[in-house]
Amino acid sequence: MKNMSLFSLLCMAGLLLACGGGDEGSIPSGTPDIPETPNEVKLSVLPSVLDAMALEDTYEIKVTTTSEGWTAHSTDGWISLTLENGESKEGVIKVTVKENKDAERYGRITVTSGTQSEYVQVKQKGGIRFSVQEVLCTSGAGNAEVTVYESDDWTVQSDADWVTVSRDKARVIVAYTANTSLTSRTATIAVTGEGQKRMFFVIQEGAGITAIPEREGYELVWHDEFTEGTELNATHWRHEVQNAGWVNNELQNYVDGVVNGKRVTELSDGKLRIHCFKGDDGKIYSGRVYAHESEGWQYGYIEARMMLPKGKGTWPAFWMMPCNVDWNKEGWPKCGEIDIMEEVGVVPNEVSSSLHAEGHNHTNGTQVTHAMTIEKAEGEFHTYAIEWTAQNITTYVDGKVQLTYDNDNKGVVNWPYDKPYYIIFNLAWGGSWGGMQGVDESALPVTCVIDYIRVFQKK
Question: pTM for the whole thing?
Answer: 0.69
Please tell me the distance from the alpha carbon of residue 47 to that of residue 63, in angstroms, as a whole number.
Answer: 9
Backbone angles phi, psi at 6, to 5 degrees: -65, -40
CA-nearest of 273, 315, 298, 303 to 397 is: 303
- 20-31: per-residue pLDDT in tens? 444 444 445 555
Write the DSSP symbol of residue 214: P
Pairing of strands 237-239, 288-291: antiparallel
- 131-146: per-residue pLDDT in tens? 999 999 988 999 999 9
Domain range 41-122, CATH architecture: Sandwich (2.60)
Please tell me the distance from the alpha carbon of residue 185 to that of residue 159, in angstroms, as a whole number.
Answer: 12
Mean pLDDT of the 440-446 span? 94
Please tell me the distance from the alpha carbon of residue 100 to that of residue 76, in angstroms, as a whole number.
Answer: 13
- Write down the mean pLDDT value for the chain: 91
Write the DSSP symbol of residue 154: -
DSSP 3-state assignment of 139?
Answer: coil
**Half-sphere exposure of residue 198: CA atoms within 13 angstroms, side-chain side:** 31
Out of 118-127, 165-174, 326-335, which region has the weakest mean confidence (pLDDT)? 326-335
Q: Model confidence at 328, in pLDDT bands (50, 70, 90)?
A: confident
Write the DSSP symbol of residue 294: T
Task: Find residue 164's DSSP bridge partners.
Answer: 175
Could you tell me the residue ranges of all domains in the chain?
41-122, 127-202, 216-456
73 close to 110: Cβ distance less than 8 angstroms: yes
DSSP 3-state assignment of 14?
Answer: helix
More confident residue, 4 or 201: 201
Quickly list H helices, 329-398.
Answer: none
- DSSP notation for 330-359: T-TTTT-EEEEEE--TTSTTEEEEEEEBTT
Please tell me the distance from the alpha carbon of residue 335 to that of residue 284, in angstroms, as a whole number.
Answer: 30
- 152-165: per-residue pLDDT in tens? 889 999 999 999 99
CA-nearest of 339, 389, 399, 343 to 369 is: 339
Domain 127-202 = CATH 3.30.465.10: no
In single-letter form, the type of residue at position 80 comes to: S
DSSP 3-state assignment of 251?
Answer: coil
pLDDT at 364: 85
Catalytic annotation, residues: 337, 342
Query: Nearest-5° angle of CA 23, CA 15, CA 30?
Result: 50
pLDDT at 210: 64
15 pLDDT above the threshold of 70: no
The distance between the two most distant Cα atoms of the chain, rounded to a whole number of Å, is 153
DSSP 3-state assignment of 439?
Answer: coil
- 358: CB partners within 8 A, 6+ apart: 333, 334, 412, 413, 414, 416
Q: Do domains 41-122 and 127-202 have the same CATH topology?
A: yes
Domain range 216-456, CATH architecture: Sandwich (2.60)
